[in-house]
Copies of this chain bind each other. A is one copy, B any other.
Amino acid sequence: MTVRVGVIGTGNIGTSHARDLASRVAGATVTALYDADAGKSAALAAELGAVSLPTYEDVIASDRVDAVLVASPDNVHAEQALACLSTGKPTLCEKPLAPVEADARAVVDAEVAVGRRLIMMGFMRRFDPGYVELKSQLGPEGIGDPLIVRNCHRNEIAPYGLDSELSLTNAAIHEIDINRWLVDDEYAWVQVLTGRSGPLTPEEQHDPLFVLLQTTAGTLVEIEMFVQSQLGYEVTCNVTAGLGVAEMGDGSYVTTARARHRGHGLPAQWLGRFQEAYRLQLQGWITHLVTGGPMPGASAWDGFVDSLVANRAIDSLRTGERVEITLPERPALYA
């Protein structure tokens, strides 16, 4: 069986996903595309032997589409996920589920009403060989229980300008999700600290943000979210645990020395660091659809919780205070 995928949104990440599905993932083919820029989706459709359709609803409804990949702008993810749910087609939805908690909640409620798990969230770090190796080091056979987790998430430059709240809902939400997964726990409170900002930070914005969370078991989680670091793209995660410590680097193979300097390059953006994670996520999703095995990635519930926590972080950024995090009851569908 080959899964015929329709892709909504053919920007950088949507294009990358479509090409991976077409030629680097077993069991998948891309049949239909939509983008607000019709010329862009038409060109990609020609390259991949797919059709470009005039609306995203056409992609979802197409009888040549078995499953949908949503890679559109953040603020329409929830609306499009709801449309997918109404047709019962499995959906891989890029993160975040929604920038606003209520919109994310609406998707969860709709999926619960359907009664089947159809949505997988595109938190691709759960498939990254680095994070997977890091998680495998935790626990009694390894370095013990996690006590303190430090995350750095640095971009070279903010692609659409710096907006501290967007740093939380669009970027730090990766750490919000991956640390829940890494330590297998939920957060009890969040506090966003600001201080001295980098030289490119406009008035009334803050960069880096220093996000501090504590889980219900007491693990402290810290995120340095530095959107305009001028450094390149870099993601690190260091865990202090009860029996040892572990640090995730970037998996580089080659060290080069020239002209009085030895070291590694840093990529300009995230496709370099997480290229393989994206492909593995797609393969995991397709294999799940083909074999009927368990969904391997983050659920809509995860997407909702991550959005809720990002919203509480915004509350903390606005007030300067620590904000408690209370989760609603988890529906049985996500047990």
Contact = CB atoms under 8 A, between A and B. Distances in A.
B258 A143 contact: yes
A143 B256 contact: yes
Given A196-B145, A231-B260, A263-B262, A246 B255 contact: yes
Contact of A130 (B217, B250, B253): B253
Contacts of A133: 252-254
Contact of A261 (B199, B217, B224, B266): B266
Contact of A257 (B25, B146, B150, B244): B244
A214 interface: yes
Contact of A244 (B217, B219, B251, B258): B258
Interface residues of A, number: 77
Copies per complex of this chain: 4
B253 A129 contact: yes
A137 B222 CA distance: 25
A195 B129 contact: no
A17 to B, nearest CB: 14
Interface of A: 22-28, 129-130, 133-134, 137, 142-148, 150, 152, 154, 156, 193-199, 208, 210, 212, 214, 217-220, 222, 224, 226, 229-232, 234, 240, 242-268, 276, 283, 287
Given A195-B214, A249-B252, A249-B254, 6 more contacts: A134-B254, A147-B198, A147-B226, A193-B212, A194-B218, A247-B256
